[in-house]
Structures are given as structure tokens and as C-alpha cells.
Amino acid sequence: MVIMKNLFKKKAFKIGVPIALAVILGLVLFFTLNQQNGYDENAIFGSRVSDLNRANQSVSGDTRFSGVVESQQSVQYKKNGERKIEEIYVKVGDTIKKGASLFRYDVKESENSIAQAQLDIEGKQQEINILAADPSTEAQIAIRQADIEIRKLKNDIASYQQEIDNAIVKSDIDGIVKAVNETGVSAQGMDAPIVEVMEIGEYRVKGKVDEQQIYALTVGDEMRVISRVDESKSWIGVLQKIETEPENNEENSLGNDTSARASSYPFYVALEDTEGLMLGQHVFVELSNGMDMDLDLSGIWLDLGYVVHEEDGTYAWVSENGKLKKRPVEVGETNEEMYIEEIVSGLEDSDIIVWPDETYTEGMQVIDASEASE
């Protein structure tokens, strides 16, 4: 499955969100704290490199969810109204072909209804035969009424016969039987499919997110699928869909003790590559945060906007003894998809760095935003 190329541009934007929030926080702090604490009116708020360093940012257990590998298409076969199921021909795990019989409705009631309708037709026909000898208007009206009722009974017979002819429900796809429910009712008393069949073909991953964490996910997010057995094995995909209706199930998202008591919402991840995955395999799912899994993020990696590139070199605005200073820095690799670049030298995690602005001049007061907010 091909993942849209512009995904990474979107992820780059999302990676920059914490940066934007830091800038906004700086502005808020400026207007609310500078007078209270005697700061210079032109003071600038900066952030520690350690807080901005992408190499220090990892996906926590709180963003890991449980998931299962399933086919791209899953077809549910529900019971038709109040009809009774006579026999189910399949069981969970069966591999079936298109056209295979899944279950059969009980048709005794339909057969009895046909027999009764045929008797009623015979009675109405006898009534017509008797009334035919009576030329009165009343008799003619009664004949027309009986004829109407005969036509209705014949339509009923055709409907009952269709139920008999379609008593056996067959699969529309080649697939594997995912679920069988003889009652057609879930544990919560809701309608449930009698049989559910997963199509054999391309895989996707169905995950579950609880109501407390659902807002952390957005359709289009890059996701990482991890083997439960061997966490060194992982696959990259895109969040394709988030259901808006909860699914009550004991197996909710991991990493949060309260999730077991919360409603879970299914979401689906389309994968770039499914090699090594098996249908029905249980996996972990987490936000990839746009990270290139083949990139070693050791050292310092900052948003591209923090380093100023000019003809005479590259530099960053940092705080030295509380004063703004242009400091030369050496950059290494650049990952445009993630919108970050490596800082080889010139910065340490303990440094305070400021988002560049052409109005800045050296010597301006710099305040550590994390300390100012305490």
C-alpha cells in the first residue's frame, strides 16, 4: 500500500507544534511576568536545548495501544429481523471461499404461512364462484374485494417463498471466519453479526484508544506497529480512521490503569509493508512522531528554524550569563521530512536557546521560560 508523500510534510508541521507552543508560552510569560519580576521590557524568553532536542523525545507507554492484524475488509452478516437461525455451518478460524454457506434460517414458519395463504386463496375463490351467479351490486363489490384479497395473498406467498429460497446466507468474499454469534446479540444487549468474515488480502491493524486518549490521535498520523513477541520488529503505517462510536471490550489501550474502565474506540492503521505479519496477530500500536526508524537520533537534533544559515556561516541565538548572544554552531545531517537538523558542535543540552528574530540584538536580556513559570 502506498502512503501519501505529503504525509511527512504534515508530520513536519506537527513536530513543529511544540516549538510554536514554546513561542506562545514565551509571549504569555513576557506579558504576565516581566513587570511582576522586574524583567526588562525587551526581555526574551528562551527554552533549554534539552527540552527541544528531538533525540531526547521518545514515545511513552501512555501512547501505546493494543492492536490486532486484520484484513482491509471485514464483512458482517447479521440476522434479518426476527427470523430464527436453524443451523450455522462455519466456526471461528475457518478459511472459506466466496459463495460458501455461512448459516441457514429456519423456514418452517414461512412454509406454514404459504400453506395457510393457499387455503385462504381457495376459500376466496369458492366465495367468488358462489357470488358470480348473483347479479346484484353488492355481490359484484364482494367479488372485487375477494379478488383484491387473493392478489394480496399471492404476493404474501411470493414473499414467503423468497425467504425459503434465500434461507442459506452465503459469503460474498474469500476470507477467514473472524466471529460467530449464534444469538445475534452482544454481551451488552446490542445487535451483533451472526458471522463476521475477514477478507484474505492486504492487512491493516485495528487498534483501540480509550476516551481519555482519543484526542491524542488524528487521522493521517504516522503510526508504528510493534510485535508483542519481538519489539525489535516494527512496521510503519498511517492512521486511516477513528470510529466515533465506542466499542465495549475488556481489552483497551495499554499504559493506563483507568483505561480498563473506560470506553474504547476502534481505530485503523494502513501499513506501508505487511511482510512478517500474520492475520489475527496481536501487536502494539503507538504514534511514530514522524521519526525515521532508520535514523540514529543521538546527540542534538533541533527544529530547522532554530539555526540561522547565512553566507558567512551558521549560528543560533543563545543565552550567555542571561544575555543574548549569536553563537556559531556546526550542523551535520538534515532530515527535511522531520524538519530537523543535527547540531554537531556549539550547543549543549543545558544551553538556553531562543527562536530567531531579525529584530534581536546581542546583549538583550534572556529568561529561562521554565524557571520563570515556576
Question: Which grid cell sits at 41?
Answer: 521590557
Residue in 358, 352, 347 with CA at minimum distance from that of residue 372 = 352
Q: List pLDDT tens digits, range 354-372.
A: 988 888 889 999 988 766 5
Ramachandran region of residue 255, left (φ > 0), alpha (ψ -120 to 50) or beta? left
Give the lowest-confidence range in 36-40, 296-300, 303-307, 364-368. 36-40
Per DSSP, the residues of 308-365 read EEETTEEEEEEEETTEEEEEE-EEEEEETTTTEEEEEES--TT-EEE---TT--TT-B
pLDDT category of residue 340 using cuts at 50, 70 and 90: confident
Q: List pLDDT tens digits, range 224-241.
A: 999 988 888 899 989 988
Determine the pLDDT at residue 339. Answer: 72
Taking the C-alpha atoms of residue 251 and residue 67, their distance in angstroms, rounded to an integer, is 9
Q: List pLDDT tens digits, range 26-81.
A: 444 444 444 445 556 678 888 889 888 877 654 444 468 889 998 877 899 998 88
Mean pLDDT over residues 119-145, rounded? 91
- DSSP reduced 3-state for 276: coil
Query: How do the domains of the chain map onto residue ranges?
Result: 8-57+295-372, 61-72+203-287, 108-165
pLDDT category of residue 287 using cuts at 50, 70 and 90: confident
How deeply is 238 buried, as exposed, middle or buried, from its count of CB atoms within 10 A (0-12, 13-18, 19+)? buried
User: Would the pLDDT of 373 be above 70?
Assistant: no
Taking the C-alpha atoms of residue 89 and residue 35, their distance in angstroms, rounded to an integer, is 78
Taking the C-alpha atoms of residue 187 and residue 301, their distance in angstroms, rounded to an integer, is 50
Ramachandran region of residue 357, left (φ > 0), alpha (ψ -120 to 50) or beta? beta
Read off the DSSP letter of residue 173: S
Q: How many helices (H) and strands (E) does the chain have?
A: 6, 22
Taking the C-alpha atoms of residue 356 and residue 54, their distance in angstroms, rounded to an integer, is 18
Helices marked H in the chain — which ranges?
Answer: 7-15, 17-33, 49-52, 108-131, 137-165, 369-372
Question: Hey, what CATH class is 61-72+203-287 in?
Answer: mainly beta
For the chain, the average pLDDT equals 80
Question: Which grid cell sits at 77?
Answer: 452478516
Share of the chain above pLDDT 90, in %: 38
Architecture of the domain delimited by 8-57+295-372: Beta Barrel (2.40)
User: Would the pLDDT of 178 be above 90?
Assistant: no
Q: List pLDDT tens digits, range 148-157.
A: 999 999 999 9
Give CA separation, 8 vs 14, 63, 291, 309, 338, in Å: 9, 20, 10, 23, 7
